[in-house]
Amino acid sequence: MPSGGDDDENKSILETYKIKQEVSDGDLMVLSIYTEDVLNMSTSIASDIDPNVVELCVENIRRCQNNHPTRGQLVLLSWVLSHVIPPRSIDYLNKTAIFSCMASAQAILWHWGFYDVALLLTATETRDKQGSLLGGVETRSRIPKEYVDQFVEIYPHFQEKGSKDSERQTNVACKAIDTIAKDFIKCDWKVQSSDELKENGSTIDDMNLMSTPSDIKTRLSALVLKLAKQQESDYAPI
Cα(176)–Cα(80) distance, rounded to whole angstroms? 14
Is residue 236 included in any domain, yes or no?
no
pLDDT digits (tens, 9 = 90+) for 102-129: 999 999 999 999 999 999 999 999 988 8
Q: Is the pTM of this model over 0.85?
A: no
Is residue 219 included in any domain, yes or no?
yes
Buried-exposed string 43-64: b where 16+ CB fall within 10 A, e elsewhere: bbbbeebeeebbebbbebbeeb
- Single out the residue of 14, 142, 168, 173 nearest to residue 79, CA to CA: 173
Is residue 187 included in any domain, yes or no?
yes
Res 148 pLDDT > 80 = yes
Which range of residues forms the domain containing residue 166?
Answer: 23-231
Res 203 pLDDT > 80 = no
Is residue 128 included in any domain, yes or no?
yes
CB 228 within 8 A of CB 154: yes
Give me the number of domains the chain comprises: 1
Q: Whats the size of the chain, residue-wise?
A: 238
Q: Which has more confidence, 45 or 238?
A: 45
Q: How confident is the model at residue 149 (pLDDT cuts 50, 70, 90)?
A: very high
Is residue 12 included in any domain, yes or no?
no
Q: Which has more confidence, 164 or 160?
A: 160
Is residue 220 included in any domain, yes or no?
yes
pLDDT digits (tens, 9 = 90+) for 58-87: 999 988 878 889 999 999 999 999 999 989
Q: How confident is the model at residue 181 (pLDDT cuts 50, 70, 90)?
A: very high
Strands across the sheet containing 189-190: 124-125, 189-190, 209-210
Q: How confident is the model at residue 6 (pLDDT cuts 50, 70, 90)?
A: low
Is residue 137 included in any domain, yes or no?
yes
Is residue 179 included in any domain, yes or no?
yes
Buried-exposed string 67-83: b where 16+ CB fall within 10 A, e elsewhere: bebbebbbbbbbbbbee
Cα(217)–Cα(31) distance, rounded to whole angstroms? 31
- Single out the residue of 91, 63, 64, 65 nearest to residue 77, CA to CA: 91
